[in-house]
Chains A and B, each alone.
Chain A
Amino acid sequence: MDEAQIRRQVLEALQGIAPEVDPATLRGERPLRDEVDLDSMDWLRFLAALHQRLGVSIPEADYQRLGSLDALLAYLAQRLEG
């Protein structure tokens, strides 16, 4: 899966949780949960959606590495490679 595909899956999962989000206005380097106003329940549903779409289960211990959309995409690319 290449970067563009990962990005598309992530944005689709995000829109499933927060339908009003316009991906074009998302700032990739900003804290994701603030950009999209995700509460802890939204965040968990988002991770569940990523698990289903990409087969990657992100443990709680790795949450701190997922500060922004860019960081999340890099993290997923690394996990999918390995």
Chain B
Amino acid sequence: MIEFKLPSLGADMDEGTLLEWRIAPGDALRRGQVVAVVDTAKAAVDVECWQDGNVLDLLIQPGDKVPVGTPIALLLEPGESAETAPVPTAAVPAAVPTGRPRISPAARKRAAELGIDASVLSGTGPQGAVTLEDVEAAARQAAPVDRQAAMRQAIGAAMSRSKREIPHYYLGETIPLGAVMAWLATHNAELAPERRLLPGVLLLKAIALALRDYPQLNGFWQGGAFHPAPGIHLGVAVALRQGGLIAPALHDVADKPLAQLMDELGDLVQRARSHSLRSSELADASLTVTQLGDQGVDSVFGVIYPPQVALVGVGRIAERPWVEAGRLCAMPTAHFSLAADHRASDGHYGARFLAEIRRLLQAPDSL
């Protein structure tokens, strides 16, 4: 028997509200399948199952808000039956701390759409049930502000923890991108907009390939020690149009061709902005990349997203004066920065990592 617990979807999440089950008792589950939609401060998230199994029981109801780590469902391992499976000692639903709020289904759905926490509303319906009208009234008062305030608070908590706990060191290097930009211009010239590549995709690929050789920057600081990540999953900082940001993971960046990365990046950005991310995308990022060049800044020195141990920042790609072989020329360049956790690596190591990124970007054919 497996207790399926509410997973932590990042340093800025300590509880979640179940919006919807996508499974029912008796269902067979495949690893990676979406089992539930859970609302967090930042987004409604599709929570995925991390192994195969069968659904035995659901322990919480839509509308329940529970802390990370709370058992929310009981699963049977493949081959187990309800009669033979040993029952985990803590698998009693009494652990659920908040009761199910009385709320009409229509009101619950509307509350989810509006990003309102219905469990804190006082209802005017029968037996104090929260009605659609209660939700609408709450929305008129404060809802859009609430969502943004919650996100601001979540970002603030994670970044405060980062600055409090992580001894950051910072390195920066201006990297020439003449070869990359020429390669891209040729590559994109005959392509429809739908199939063009953005420079950012080549930069992400180069960073991922460099991480293969510098694994001490790709992982997590947990329990007083560094744990390397099982894969190279780059967190991509995405600014949300309503304000705030989120950095979902682009999986296995080093192993994928550029066109596939471009498609997946476009999809990820769009889903981040429409609040429909998967739990693995929120939990798996092993190093975050923030590219603020579109906003015109020359460089960005980031704050590490714990428990990650490094962040790469990329500024604007622009033609700048450049000296090569004793001659002055105009060269597209971008400033790359590394913010890294001094507990996990040293500046010498970080500098070699940046140099490797630079080396890779001089040969775009190999990306």
Q: A58 at interface (Cβ–Cβ under 8 A)?
A: yes
Q: What CA separation (Å) do A20 and B194 show in the bound complex?
A: 23
| One of B198, B241, B266 near A20 (C-beta < 8 A) | B241
Q: Which residues of A contact B270 (CB under 8 A)?
A: 45
**B interface residue count range (under 10 / 10 to 19 / 20 to 34 / 35 or more):** 10 to 19
Q: What CA separation (Å) do A40 and B184 show in the bound complex?
A: 14
State whether A61 touches B189 (Cβ < 8 A). yes
Q: A26 at interface (Cβ–Cβ under 8 A)?
A: no
Q: Which residues of B contact A37 (CB under 8 A)?
A: 241
Q: What CA separation (Å) do A41 and B236 show in the bound complex?
A: 13
Q: What CA separation (Å) do A61 and B184 show in the bound complex?
A: 12
| One of A41, A51, A58 near B269 (C-beta < 8 A) | A41
Which secondary structure dominates where chain A touches chain B? Answer: helix
Q: What CA separation (Å) do A39 and B198 show in the bound complex?
A: 11
Complex interface residues of chain B between 199 and 254 (CB less than 8 A to chain A)? 199-200, 239, 241-242
Q: What CA separation (Å) do A48 and B189 show in the bound complex?
A: 15
Q: A18 at interface (Cβ–Cβ under 8 A)?
A: yes
Residue of A nearest to B294 (CB): A39
Residue of B nearest to A45 (CB): B266
Q: What CA separation (Å) do A40 and B193 show in the bound complex?
A: 12
State whether B200 touches A48 (Cβ < 8 A). no
Taking A41-B198, A41-B265 as known contacts, 15 extra A-B pairs with beta carbons closer than 8 A to each other, sorted by chain A number, are A18-B241, A19-B241, A39-B239, A39-B294, A40-B198, A41-B266, A44-B193, A44-B266, A45-B270, A48-B193, A51-B193, A51-B194, A57-B193, A59-B189, A60-B185
Q: What CA separation (Å) do A41 and B199 show in the bound complex?
A: 10
| Chain A: minimal CB distance from B141 (Å) | 21
Q: A72 at interface (Cβ–Cβ under 8 A)?
A: no
State whether A48 touches B192 (Cβ < 8 A). yes
Q: Which residues of B contact A45 (CB under 8 A)?
A: 266, 270
Complex interface residues of chain A between 18 and 46 (CB less than 8 A to chain B)? 18-20, 37, 39-41, 44-45
Q: Return 11 A-B CB contacts under 8 Å, by A number.
A: A39-B294, A41-B198, A41-B200, A41-B265, A44-B198, A47-B193, A48-B194, A50-B193, A51-B192, A58-B193, A60-B185
Query: How many A residues touch B, CB cutoff 8 Å?
Result: 18
Q: Which residues of B contact A44 (CB under 8 A)?
A: 193, 196, 198, 266
Q: What CA separation (Å) do A20 and B241 show in the bound complex?
A: 8
| Chain A: minimal CB distance from B274 (Å) | 10
Q: B188 at interface (Cβ–Cβ under 8 A)?
A: yes
Q: Which residues of B contact A51 (CB under 8 A)?
A: 192-194
| The 7 nearest A-B residue pairs measured at CB | A47-B193, A39-B294, A48-B193, A48-B194, A57-B192, A51-B193, A40-B198
State whether B189 touches A60 (Cβ < 8 A). yes
Q: What CA separation (Å) do A45 and B269 show in the bound complex?
A: 11
| Chain A: minimal CB distance from B185 (Å) | 7
Q: Which residues of A contact B194 (CB under 8 A)?
A: 48, 51
Q: What CA separation (Å) do A40 and B239 show in the bound complex?
A: 12
Most chain A CB atoms below 10 A, which of B193, B196, B242, B294: B193
Residue of A nearest to B198 (CB): A40
State whether A40 touches B294 (Cβ < 8 A). yes
Q: What CA separation (Å) do A40 and B199 show in the bound complex?
A: 9
Residue of B nearest to A60 (CB): B188
| One of B185, B189, B200 near A40 (C-beta < 8 A) | B200
Complex interface residues of chain B between 262 and 290 (CB less than 8 A to chain A)? 265-266, 269-270
Q: What CA separation (Å) do A61 and B241 show in the bound complex?
A: 28
Q: Which residues of A contact B239 (CB under 8 A)?
A: 39
| Chain A: minimal CB distance from B220 (Å) | 28
Q: What CA separation (Å) do A18 and B274 show in the bound complex?
A: 11
Q: Which residues of B contact A41 (CB under 8 A)?
A: 198, 200, 265-266, 269
Q: Which residues of B contact A40 (CB under 8 A)?
A: 198-200, 294
Q: Which residues of A contact B192 (CB under 8 A)?
A: 48, 51, 57
Residue of A nearest to B265 (CB): A41
Complex interface residues of chain A between 38 and 76 (CB less than 8 A to chain B)? 39-41, 44-45, 47-48, 50-51, 57-61
Most chain A CB atoms below 10 A, which of B199, B241, B266, B270: B241
Residue of B nearest to A46 (CB): B193
Residue of A nearest to B292 (CB): A39
